[in-house]
Chains A and B, each alone.
Chain A
Amino acid sequence: MVQINQKITVAFNVNGGDVEIDVTPETALVDMLRDGLLLKGAKRSCDMQVCGACTVLVDGLPVSACTVPAFEVRGKSVTTIEGVAADDRMAGLTDAFIDNAAIQCGFCTPGMVLAAKSLLDRNPHPSEDEIKDYMRGNICRCTGYKKIVEAIQEAAQKAVQG
């Protein structure tokens, strides 16, 4: 008989600060962030890793927080949209989304911005095709993607110009 009642201590870094929180094994990362740490930027939407609304970065790589268990981030660094919003160095990217009207209802935006950040961190000068290829796992039902691609292009361009 398996003793199921189990608590796991998750010590990790979120948006630059160290935190420690107890969770059960089946707790999804998005629930630990939203309910445990009140970081509401990541949204549970499709709940099957398809839409990207729950995107957060773990050690710089985008993952679907709806499905990745919270215990997976022990000892790791998690970046949520709240961390991007508080980081002046990221203003070029977030401003580009605003300036290009790459937001309508805003539900997908945290995931879009984090996916774009992860792309630009690895590939500071992506082509339009590379942007579309990388971003194809993030779904927006309002803007039709064109403005999002343009926002990422502008952010990349402005980063070059300094």
Chain B
Amino acid sequence: MRPFRLYEPTTINETVATLSELGDDGKLYAGGTELLLAMKTGLLQYDGLVNVKTVPELEGVSYSNGTLTIGARATHSTVEHSADVLAHAPLIASVEHRVANVRVRNVGTVVGNLCFAEPHSDPGALLLLYEAEVDIASPSGTRSVSVEQLVVGPYETSLAGDELVTRVRVPLLPNGMRGAYLKFGYHHRPTLGVGAAVSVTDGKFLDVRLTLGSAPPKPTRMRDAEAVLRGAAVDDPAVAIEAGRIAAEGCDAIDDLHGSAEYKRHLVQVFVQRALAEAVERGVK
């Protein structure tokens, strides 16, 4: 790997000041599970990496008032085994458990995963299901955006060069809403991930959220498919098939090593139905 210099700030202010100073020559470093692979191949080159793991403020997972907060230093393993996550959002723990392998989970961070914006990844589509938001610090202050606004394309976010995502805030699903997340793929990266969250009253869908990851260039909320489900009968299989069809037609599936766009659209059609069925079943239980 091309040599670089390591910067180890100890506060958020110092971190963003260092980033600002380095400009295009520097990048934030957390777990490095994705960044360092790109640097090894020479795809990305930086003169300086700024280590967020030396900043105590960015540590940890916590829960308060219906919201889980995941700090920028929290690894996938930390989230997977967090008592707060297991108690309040076991779906997040189970999806995190299936990220890559145990070695990557011990090192890679959830916030780093979002900010690297690798399309073949589960946390983005999962966190869209929860309508999660990220808090961002920069030399000029702080702001917040939804995960949906954070990730704008493959390996591309709406962050400026001197901005640091300090944490992701995950509101629990509203009362009565149950979630499911299904993934499919061969080898170590998924071909697709589908999230579904539903609430049901009197045999009808009251509210629905559907999200898709890995198949399109970025984690995507499937609002057109959600719309046909709201108010529709839960036990009418034609409704789920129609939602799957709309999701498949509307999704921006891409051809890549994980399959052709046509193949992925077929998977979307099938997995939207399965994820809906699983979310409904969890609600019944």
Stretch at the interface among B31-39, B149-157, B166-174: B31-39
A26 and B103: CB pair below 8 A?
no
- Would you give the 0/1 interface string for A84-113, flagging 1 where the beta carbon is closer than 8 Å to chain B? 000000000000000000000000000000
B contact residues around A62 at 8 Å (CB): 102-103, 106
Residue of A nearest to B29 (CB): A69
Residues of A within 8 A of B22 (CB): 2
Q: Which residues of B contact A115 (CB under 8 A)?
A: 102
> How many whole Å from A140's CB to the nearest CB in chain B?
14
Interface flags for B62-104 (1: CB within 8 Å of A; 0: not) read 0000000000000001000000000000000000000011111
Cross-chain contact of B47 among A2, A63, A68 (Cβ < 8 A): A2
Range class of the B interface residue count? 20 to 34
A49 within 8 A of B: yes
Decide if A6 is an interface residue (CB 8 Å cutoff): yes
| Among candidates B6, B36, B77, residue contacting A67 with C-beta atoms closer than 8 Å | B36
B contact patch SS: mixed
Instruction: Tell me if B104 and A2 are in contact (CB < 8 A).
Output: no
Q: When A67-B32, A67-B33, A68-B32 are in contact, do A137 and B103 touch as well, CB less than 8 Å?
A: yes
**Among the listed A8, A61, A71, which residue makes an inter-chain contact with B106, where contact means beta carbons less than 8 Å apart?**
A61
Q: Which residue of the partner chain, among A26, A50, A61, A134, contacts B2 with CB atoms under 8 Å?
A: A26
Docked pose: A52 CA to B185 CA in angstroms: 20
Is residue B40 within 8 Å, beta carbon to beta carbon, of the partner chain? Answer: yes
Q: Does B141 contact A (CB under 8 A)?
A: no
Nearest residue, chain A, Cβ from B2: A26
Question: In the assembled complex, how far is the CB of residue B90 from the closest CB belonging to chain A, in whole angstroms?
Answer: 16
Q: Is the CB of A48 within 8 A of B37?
A: yes
In-complex Cβ contact of A25 among B3, B100, B103 (8 A): B3
The reply to whether the CB of B277 lies closer than 8 angstroms to some CB of chain A is no
Q: Which residue of B lies closest to A60 (CB)?
A: B106
Please judge, given known A-B contacts A26-B3, A63-B106, A137-B103, whether A49 and B40 are in contact too, CB under 8 Å. Answer: no
* Cα–Cα distance between A67 and B103 once the two chains are bound (Å): 11
Q: Decide yes or no whether B224 CB sits under 8 A from chain A.
A: no
Decide if A3 is an interface residue (CB 8 Å cutoff). yes
Give every chain B residue within 8 A of A55 (Cβ-Cβ): 103
**Does A4 make an interface contact (CB < 8 A)?**
yes
Q: Assuming A52-B103, A63-B103, is B33 touching A24 (CB within 8 A)? A: no
Q: Does B285 contact A (CB under 8 A)?
A: no
Asked if A64 lies at the interface with its beta carbon under 8 angstroms from chain B, I say yes
Decide: A71 near B6, CB < 8 A? Known: A49-B33, A137-B100: yes
Bound: A118/B40 CA distance, A: 28
A47 part of interface (Cβ distance < 8 Å) = yes
Query: CB within 8 A of B5: which of A25, A52, A118?
Result: A25
Interface residues of A (CB under 8 A from B): 2-6, 8, 24-26, 28, 47-50, 52, 55, 58, 61-64, 67-69, 71, 115, 118, 134, 136-138
Q: Top 6 A-B pairs ranked by shortest CB distance?
A: A137-B101, A2-B47, A25-B6, A26-B1, A61-B106, A64-B103
